[in-house]
């Protein structure tokens, strides 16, 4: 396994639901990231945490709310999502320089109905 574990692998939710995505890294890294991957688009950085402090919030709508309780765990809380939010959500971690040498998880495939 990769060292970065994401759950669930697949999620279907209605626009009024509240759900959370979970990411756990077993690599001893000090930075964690949420990326959004949509078809035919570049990977979009959503949030970056370094040493459990948020260092980047890339103009993401407030219906996405990250939480990083410690350096090994990262959550993405979702509420009142829109169908255009359907995508693969990837978690990543890195050690040392932030935004370099990312280790990705397998992602959560999210469908918003």
Binding site for another protein (CB under 8 A): 2, 4, 40-43, 45, 48, 50, 55-56, 58, 90, 97-107
Q: Nearest approach, Cβ of 55 to another protein (angstroms)?
A: 7
Nearest to another protein of 20, 99 (CB atom): 99
- In contact, 108 and 8? CB cutoff 8 Å: yes
Nearest to another protein of 17, 30 (CB atom): 30
Q: What span, in angstroms and rounded, lies between the C-alpha atoms of 48 and 46?
A: 7
Q: Nearest approach, Cβ of 62 to another protein (angstroms)?
A: 20
Q: What span, in angstroms and rounded, lies between the C-alpha atoms of 34 and 98?
A: 13
- In contact, 79 and 109? CB cutoff 8 Å: no
Strand partners, 22: 7, 75
Q: Nearest approach, Cβ of 42 to another protein (angstroms)?
A: 4
Nearest to another protein of 31, 78 (CB atom): 31
């Amino acid at each position: 396994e990769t060292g970065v574990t994401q759950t669930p692998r697949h999620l279907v939710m209605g626009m009024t639901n509240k759900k959370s995505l979970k990411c756990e890294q077993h690599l001893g890294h000090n930075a964690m990231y949420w990326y959004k991957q949509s078809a035919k688009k570049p990977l979009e950085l959503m949030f970056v945490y370094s040493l459990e402090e948020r260092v980047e919030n890339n103009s993401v709508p407030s219906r996405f709310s990250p939480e990083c309780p410690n350096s090994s765990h990262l959550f993405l809380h979702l509420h009142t999502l829109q169908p255009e939010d359907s995508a693969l959500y990837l978690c990543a971690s890195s050690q040392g320089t932030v935004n370099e040498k990312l280790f990705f998880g397998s992602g959560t495939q999210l469908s918003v109905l």
